[in-house]
Amino acid sequence: SYRKRFGSQVSSSLSAGRMGSLPPSRTFWHTAPRSLGRSSPAPRLALGSSGASDRLDFSADSLMKAQFKETRTKEKMEMMGLNDRFASYIEKVRLLEQQNAALAAELERLRGREPSRLGDVYQEELRELRAQVDGLSAAKARLEIQRDNLAADLATLKQRLQEEMGLRQEAEASLSAYRQDVDEASLNRVQLERKIESLEDEITFLKKTHEEPRSCRELQEVIAAQKVHVDLDVSKPDLTAALRDIRIQYESVASSNMQETEEWYRSKFSDLTDAASRNAEALRQAKQEANEYRRQLQVLTCDLEALRGANESLERQLRDMEDRFSTETAAYQDTVGHLEEDIRALKEEMARHLQEYQDLLNVKLALDIEIATYRKLLEGEESRITFPVQSFPNLQFRDTSLDTKTAEVHGRRSILVRSVETRDGEIMEESTTVAQGSSLKFEGVSRGRRPLRHLTPSLSPPSLETVLMWGFALSFGVDVHFSQFY
């Protein structure tokens, strides 16, 4: 903002000094850096005696006044721009504060209400599902115990069934053997009956043979015809009685055998029938019990499968709810993390804007002080200057933000410069420098970005050079204190 104020060299030096005093993140004046202390062919202001003041060029004075007016106009425009920018920053900071407050309220609301309520709901549902799972587990264990007991009873019944089936097979084998015996007895009986019939036929034949007299007469006739006479002293056998005895004997033997066989067959058949009926009854009962146990086992198996399906469904619902709860919890945590990051970013941005605001405020205060100082200087110098100004003297200004800041102005009067470094209100270091002749030198030890300087001018009234140097020092944020004259 000081360009074209005292020439290109002074404008460049002032711009470089101003950029050195501002924070590195903001640059409001763009000037090319120039080497400090290098002489420039710009016009110089040579302040001499009262005789030399008669030779000043009033055209240069008019040019300087025009430059001052132009500079003041530019400063006003820059101040207006800075004020507008500062107002926009203030509005942005307020907007960011409102957004930050809204986000903080939203974060507190999410932390205080939603997670706890959802957590309580999920915990209540989890407790209910766990209770249902415990009840189903107990019912499942009870049914498994009943199933094991029924399986043991079924195994016992199966063993009994196998034993009864073995007994039945033995009875059937015995029955088959008895049937073979009965068949053999029946065959023997049939054979005996046939033998009896043949014997009866034979007896009948013999009886017919002995009872028929015709046969005897025929035999006698045959014998008489042959005229054979045999005298045998043999008694005539009683064949009829013998045959009758044999028949009676055979009939008695056959009847006794038949009776014994029938009785034995009936007894065996009754025994086998009783055993078969008993085995059939036992088998029927065993089959009924096996069918009943099988039916109960099927019912229990169906119930167990249904309970297992319900248990798996509840476990699946529990896993789904846990997954959904974990997903929502992770989402809420991510949201909280994003909100915290947004809050942190907003805080950092607000801190940066506050820092910029502080820097702008410092610049504004420095510009206000500078403008007020130049206004006073111009008002005082316009009334005090009675000699023309030929040119500006060589002006060199050196400013460092680490250790020292030095500005040299070549003048004609002796200046005492005293530099004091203070810390927490105590003087840490003090140095004094005397500028002889036309040289004026400012030295100061920096503390942060604003060094503390004590300037002691000579006993003579301050010249324009001295006043300009004071203005430069004030424009760069240097505290200038006027001490004793000598």
- Examine residue 240 and state whether it is found in any structural domain, yes or no: yes
Among 421, 442, 439, 440, which residue's Cα sits nearest to residue 430? 421
Beta sheet of 439-445, edge-to-edge order: 395-399, 404-410, 439-445
The per-residue pLDDT of the chain, averaged, comes to 68
Task: Look at residue 420 and tell me whether its pLDDT is greater than 70.
Answer: no
Task: Look at residue 464 and tell me whether its pLDDT is greater than 70.
Answer: no
Q: Are 3 and 31 in contact (CB under 8 A)?
A: yes
Q: What is the pLDDT of residue 32?
A: 36
Who has greater pLDDT, 386 or 303?
Answer: 303
| Mean per-residue pLDDT, 431-438 | 50
- Examine residue 189 and state whether it is found in any structural domain, yes or no: yes
Q: What is the pLDDT of residue 389?
A: 41
Q: Identify the DSSP state of 483.
A: -
| Mean per-residue pLDDT, 343-347 | 88
Q: What is the pLDDT of residue 385?
A: 53
* Strand (E) or helix (H) holding 390: none
Beta sheet of 426-435, edge-to-edge order: 426-435, 415-423, 452-456, 479-482
Q: Contacts from 117-125 at CB under 8 Å and sequence distance 24+? A: 118/325, 118/328, 122/321, 122/325, 125/321
Q: Which of 68-77, 106-115, 333-342 has the lowest mean pLDDT?
A: 106-115
- Examine residue 326 and state whether it is found in any structural domain, yes or no: no
Q: What is the pLDDT of residue 371?
A: 85
Distance (Å, whole) CA 65 – CA 79: 20
What string of DSSP letters covers 70-129?
A: HHHHHHHHHHHHHHHHHHHHHHHHHHHHHHHHHHHHHHHHHHHTHHHHHHHHHHHHHHHH
Who has greater pLDDT, 115 or 278?
Answer: 278
| Mean per-residue pLDDT, 357-363 | 86
Distance (Å, whole) CA 393 – CA 463: 13
pLDDT tier, 31 (very low <50, low <70, confident <90, very high otherwise): very low
pLDDT tens-place string over residues 182-232: 788 878 888 888 888 888 887 777 777 666 555 555 656 655 665 444 444
Q: What is the pLDDT of residue 246?
A: 77
Who has greater pLDDT, 472 or 263?
Answer: 263
Q: What is the pLDDT of residue 45?
A: 38
| Burial (CB count <10 Å: 0-12, 13-18, 19+), residue 13 | buried
Q: What is the pLDDT of residue 118?
A: 64
- Examine residue 408 and state whether it is found in any structural domain, yes or no: no
- Examine residue 462 and state whether it is found in any structural domain, yes or no: no
Who has greater pLDDT, 183 or 439?
Answer: 183
Query: Which phi and psi (to 5°) does residue 439 adopt?
Result: -95, 135
pLDDT tens-place string over residues 126-151: 888 888 888 888 888 888 888 888 88
Distance (Å, whole) CA 89 – CA 62: 40
Q: What is the pLDDT of residue 456?
A: 39
pLDDT tier, 395 (very low <50, low <70, confident <90, very high otherwise): very low
**Which residues constitute the domain of residue 234?**
140-313
Its pTM stands at 0.28
What total of structural domains would you count in the chain?
Answer: 1
Question: Residue 34: left (phi > 0), alpha (psi -120 to 50), or beta?
Answer: beta
pLDDT tier, 38 (very low <50, low <70, confident <90, very high otherwise): very low
Q: What is the pLDDT of residue 220?
A: 61
- Examine residue 153 and state whether it is found in any structural domain, yes or no: yes
- Examine residue 194 and state whether it is found in any structural domain, yes or no: yes
Give the highest mean pLDDT range of 243-252, 440-449, 451-460.
243-252
Q: What is the pLDDT of residue 105?
A: 87
Q: Which of 164-178, 270-284, 308-322, 452-466 has the lowest mean pLDDT?
A: 452-466
- Examine residue 56 and state whether it is found in any structural domain, yes or no: no
Task: Look at residue 387 and tell me whether its pLDDT is greater than 70.
Answer: no
Q: What is the pLDDT of residue 264?
A: 80
Q: What is the pLDDT of residue 423?
A: 62
Task: Look at residue 344 and tell me whether its pLDDT is greater than 50.
Answer: yes
Who has greater pLDDT, 11 or 130?
Answer: 130
CA atoms 117, 119, 124, 128: torsion sign: positive
Measured CA distances, 180 to 170, 172, 175, 176, 373 (Å): 15, 12, 8, 6, 151
Q: Are 262 and 182 in contact (CB under 8 A)?
A: no
Please, how many CA atoms are within 13 Å of residue 288, restricted to the half-sphere of its CB? 6
- Tokens for 40? 């420039």
Who has greater pLDDT, 396 or 302?
Answer: 302
Q: Which of 54-68, 267-281, 303-317 has the lowest mean pLDDT?
A: 54-68
Q: What is the pLDDT of residue 60?
A: 66
Q: Are 271 and 139 in contact (CB under 8 A)?
A: no
Who has greater pLDDT, 87 or 477?
Answer: 87
- Tokens for 178? 């008895």
